[in-house]
Structure 1
Amino acid sequence: MSEKTFFPISSWSDDDKPREKLLLKGKATLSDAELLAIIIGSGSKNESAVALSQRILASVSHNLNTLGKLSIAQLTAFKGMGDAKAVSVQAALELGKRRRAAELPQWQTVSSSMSVFELMQPVIGELPHEEFWILYLNNAHKIILKAQLSKGGITGTLVDVRLVYKAALELSAVGIILTHNHPSGTLRPSESDKQITKKLKLAGEQLDIKVLDHLIITEHGYFSFADEGIL
């Protein structure tokens, strides 16, 4: 019986090291560049996949959120990155984003503005356009439904008060939480933000459905009307 020969990691090719390291030591031991190298699959004649990954990550200051926003054209601008590799990178990062955005257990209880931010940031926090979403809650402050109300351009989005409360009545919701994103990154509510909040609050009072909060969400933070005492 022939003996199996083992080779140290240092003897492997640069493109094989991340894969073998993951198999031997686990995914948590790999750096971002090594994980990205596995997605890319291979480098070029003059550069390993790890080195290519390091270049790409350096261009976005090693920020994975920024990496996820690079277009196919921006990715393929790096020497050694063709369309197939760029598509693989975008697909992997989108899966990661969807994992974060995956629906939390049904009937999740809203305990604070932070819990709303954690639920909605993966959904709207990084979008280049504005979207308005409503969380419908029962009398135990558990989410019955999370629904997109409208989707706008760069400058804003429209909100139809009738649609908000039509759904609330159909769901027998007793409270709603308003959320929308600011693609500009600013957390300061605009006058239109304040006006629509007031309009929805007044309409809800007539139906005995309370507006519990309105969150403005960005990539890195949020503004809560309730927390700031301006609801």
Structure 2
Amino acid sequence: MQPKPTYIPIKNWSSDDKPREKLLLKHRGDLSNAELIAILIGSGSRNESAVALAKRILATVNNDFNDLGKLSVKQLMQFKGIGEAKAVTIAAALEIGLRRRKNGVKKVVSITESGHVFELLHPKLADLSHEEFWVVYLNNANTVLTMGQLSKGGITGTLVDVRLVLKQALELGAVGLILAHNHPSGTLKPSVADKQITNKLKTASQALDIKVLDHLIITQKEYFSFADEHIL
């Protein structure tokens, strides 16, 4: 029979095992994901250290901060050892990280390839748990005039108002449109509805000498371009 492991309080750990001290003595990049979360948690319980608790939480999201950021405060509180204060602290820290990433994105002015659209819209769409449909309006130099959300919750002909898209394009003097929406499921394969709304907007735009240049499906880490795949 294996002896029961002895729990060692954090105050008795070696300096190398204490996440706070480790951050002070070394570079913050040397800390593991669990150690960073442990600093936010502050303390564990009588039978579990803060690092062990953080590892248990991270294991449920495959050690992925993006997936952890999708958990609500109530969902975080389902973990034994996480009360409301700790859950709010974790949620706030992950939101700060998301906003830092958004603020650090290089401003895209001119669109010359699908990757520029991904860079522009990824911070807005990648972490959503629902679908949103966006339109980027361009002038004849492919410079971004503006962009905005057209619908939220799914992609169907009833939710995407073609007249609204074209009205905005005419008011801006736009000659090019780029469509984009996210797939929270992570799949990059365009659905029948995705193809239908693309063709609908393309056909309607042509009558006004406005071109639909691309349609991107965006996930957390990658994208699918209708133009790159020659199906536009």
Is the alpha carbon distance of 1:201 and 1:155 closer, same or farther for their aligned partners in structure 2, counting shifts above 3 Å?
closer
What are the ranges of 5 or more consecutive residues in structure 2 without an aligned counterpart?
A: 1-11
Instruction: Note if contact 1:33-1:54 (Cα within 8 Å) is conserved in structure 2.
Output: yes
Question: CA shift at 1:188, angstroms?
Answer: 2.0
- How many matched pairs? 221
Counterparts of residues 89-168 of structure 1 (less than 5 Å): 89-102=90-103, 104-106=105-107, 108-152=109-153, 158-168=159-169
Contact kept in structure 2, 1:113 and 1:227, CA below 8 Å:
yes
Determine the structure 1 residue equivalent to 2:28: 27
**Is contact 2:35–2:51 with CA below 8 Å preserved after alignment?**
yes
Matched, 1:215 2:216: yes
Contact 2:108–2:120 (Cα < 8 Å) also in 1:
no
Residues 129 and 156 in structure 1, CA contact (< 8 A), matched pair in contact too: no
Give the Cα separation in 2 of the matches to 1:74 and 1:155: 31
Considering only aligned residues, what root-mean-square deviation do their CA atoms show, in Å? 2.6
Q: CA deviation at 1:105?
A: 4.8
Alignment of 1:1-231 (within 5 A): 11-12=14-15, 17-102=18-103, 104-106=105-107, 108-152=109-153, 158-231=159-232
For structure 1, the residue ranges without an aligned partner over 5 or more in a row are 1-8
* Secondary structure, counterpart of 2:74 in structure 1: helix
TM-score (norm 1): 0.84
1:51-97 CA-partner distances (Å, limit 9, x unpaired): 21112112222122221222323322222110111111112112222
**Cα offset, 1:212, TM superposition:** 0.9
In the TM superposition, residue 126 of structure 1 has moved relative to its aligned partner by 3.2
Tell me how far apart the structure 2 counterparts of residues 140 and 154 of structure 1 sit (CA, whole Å): 29
Q: Which amino acid aligns with 2:211?
A: K
The equivalent of 1:4 in structure 2 is: none
- Cα 1:157–1:59 shift into 2, 3 Å: farther
Between the aligned partners of 1:199 and 1:102, the Cα distance in structure 2 is: 34
CA distance in 2, matches of 1:18, 1:154: 45
Q: 2:177, 2:155 → 1: CA distance?
A: 25
- In structure 2, relative to structure 1, the CA distance for the partners of 1:191 and 1:214 (3 Å cut) is same
